[in-house]
Amino acid sequence: MNQKIDFTITKLGKNTVKSPIPYSVEKDKGGARFVSDDEFILPSNTLKEQNTDSLLEKAGPREMIYFNPNHVHAGIVTCGGLCPGLNDVIRAVVRTLWYRYGVQRITGVRMGYKGFLPEYNLPVKELNPYIVDHIHNMGGSILGSSRGGSDTVRIVDAMERMNLNILFTIGGDGTQRGALAITKEIKKRNLNIAVIGVPKTIDNDLSFIHKSFGFDTAVERAVEAVNTAHTEAKSAIDGVGLVKLMGRESGFIAAHTSLATSEVNFCLIPEAEFSLEGENGLLKKLEERLDARHHAVIVVAEGAGQNLLEASGETDESGNKRLADIGLFLKEKITAHFKKIGRESSLKYIDPGYMIRASAANPVDSLYCARLGANAVHAAMSGRTGMLISQWNNAFVHVPIDMAVSKKNCVDPEGSLWRDVIESTRQPARMHD
């Protein structure tokens, strides 16, 4: 994709309201200060890639804001699958609106975008600091979540009826594409409503997002599953532990988990093709591993090896293609192979996906979510719209939604991360003929 890089952030209008936050405008005054509109972050720290004059706008509170806090009615919606940290972001958004800006009309929209649609008849949830005080200790979302429901025209109709001034959309690729469509419909109607996204994609596959919240927790929980598989494998004759992890098109969780444990012998991801049969195929290499060490651990991302299976051709409510189950497929193929060659083997299959998704965030993710939520509020109150909060080059920045969803962020099979995985697992660099 040769889309032009353009990080220009849309604003609803001129900021004429003095921020109620008591920060300094000047540097070196010994306290917290506002972020100036002329502060930017380089899109790349590689000299070769500095081929654009477009810079990433730095996130943070502005001295002058667009909305009068006393007039603001803010809405929050969580969409898509569950992910550790959803409640942490909700909590951060509510507390920043309430305590920093004095916004006291905050509404939670239930069950994703479907909560806007009248046929679902879902009541909204009033939010304040007392309601969200302890929710960061829980997994899931207190607002509930769902896929689909992106009926843009009727969503904006509902927002007008609710008199919303700001909408925070917490979700992944499908959610943010929906938010972009909502932003365009709002502009078409000439409404002054800010739409700010907080990227939630456990696969870490949005562009210009260094790391999405929930990712660290997912890797931590995945490591526990791999350790269990390793113990099972070592305790059996030619034991094999097979763990399926999240990763539809991007194998970041599988790759990071493999590096974090150093117990993984084969890491299979969507970006690196592999074969079952042949001298360089998985089955032959697995035999060689068992010959040498008498146990093996395989980690496979859910989107890996789809070329080996029969696709259904169906899509889910978010528009994602329904994947065939690579985990069960490998379990059956490996078991059948060893039975065919007359070799005793014991395979244990673990799929911790829903346990991971429903986990509460770990401290690293909780901290990250708190900062994402706070910066989302600062962006919204300054009248910015159609954008996401991201961390990039070690700074929190504003990214236009259309840039973030322009292409999938994937593991580079020729890059340093995958090279490190290959060195850790000692699997062949190319596992196909």
pLDDT of residue 46: 52
Top-confidence range, 29-38, 306-315, 398-407: 398-407
Torsions phi, psi of 96, nearest 5?
-70, -45
Q: Is residue 16 located within the same domain as residue 151? A: yes
Tell me, yes or no, whether 338 lies in a domain: yes
Interhelix angle 282-293/326-340, rounded to 10 degrees, is: 60
Structural domain that includes position 286? 215-358+413-425
Q: How many domains does the chain have?
A: 2
State mean pLDDT over 234-254: 95
pLDDT of residue 29: 61
Binding residues for substrate: 201-203, 246-248, 302, 354-357
Binding residues for Mg(2+): 173
Q: Is residue 350 located within the same domain as residue 378? A: no
**118: number of CA atoms within 13 Å, CB side?**
7
CB contact burial 258-267 (16+ within 10 A = b; e otherwise): bbebebbbbb
Q: Is residue 222 located within the same domain as residue 159? A: no
Q: What is the pTM of this model?
A: 0.89
**CA gap 408, 361 in Å, rounded:** 24
Q: Is residue 23 located within the same domain as residue 96? A: yes
Binding residues: 81, 147-148, 172-175, 201-203, 246-248, 302, 354-357
Q: Could you report the per-residue pLDDT of 362-382, keeping only the tens digit for each?
A: 999 999 999 999 999 999 999
pLDDT of residue 143: 97
Which residue is it, tokens 């917290």?
32
Tell me, yes or no, whether 326 lies in a domain: yes
As a residue count, the chain comes to 433
Interhelix angle 86-95/363-381, rounded to 10 degrees, is: 40
Q: Is residue 109 located within the same domain as residue 39? A: yes
Check if the beta carbon of residue 384 is closer than 8 Å to that of residue 194: yes
Check if the beta carbon of residue 117 is closer than 8 Å to that of residue 153: no
Q: Is residue 263 located within the same domain as residue 337? A: yes
Q: What is the mean pLDDT of the chain?
A: 91
Q: Is residue 189 located within the same domain as residue 94? A: yes
Q: Could you report the per-residue pLDDT of 228-242, keeping only the tens digit for each?
A: 999 999 999 999 999
pLDDT of residue 1: 44
* 28-37, 203-212, 338-347: range with lowest mean pLDDT: 28-37
Tell me, yes or no, whether 61 lies in a domain: yes
CATH number at residue 340: 3.40.50.460
Q: Is residue 160 located within the same domain as residue 291? A: no
Tell me, yes or no, whether 2 lies in a domain: no
pLDDT at 28 over 70: no
Check if the beta carbon of residue 397 is closer than 8 Å to that of residue 192: no
pLDDT at 249 over 60: yes
CA angle, residues 79, 401, 127, in degrees to nearest 5:
40
The candidate with the shortest Cα–Cα distance to 43, out of 1, 11, 4, is 4
Q: Is residue 307 located within the same domain as residue 373? A: no
Q: Is residue 233 located within the same domain as residue 152? A: no
Which residue is it, tokens 């890059």?
415
Q: Is residue 161 located within the same domain as residue 192? A: yes
**CA gap 38, 31 in Å, rounded:** 20
pLDDT of residue 4: 72
Torsions phi, psi of 320, nearest 5?
-80, 140
Tell me, yes or no, whether 269 lies in a domain: yes
Binding residues for ATP: 81, 147-148, 172-175
Tell me, yes or no, whether 1 lies in a domain: no
**CA gap 127, 105 in Å, rounded:** 8
| DSSP code at position 9 | P
Q: Is residue 315 located within the same domain as residue 274? A: yes
Q: Catalytic site residues? A: 203
CATH number at residue 388: 3.40.50.450
pLDDT of residue 2: 54
Q: Could you report the per-residue pLDDT of 166-192, keeping only the tens digit for each?
A: 999 999 889 999 999 999 999 999 999
pLDDT at 32 over 90: no
Tell me, yes or no, whether 431 lies in a domain: no
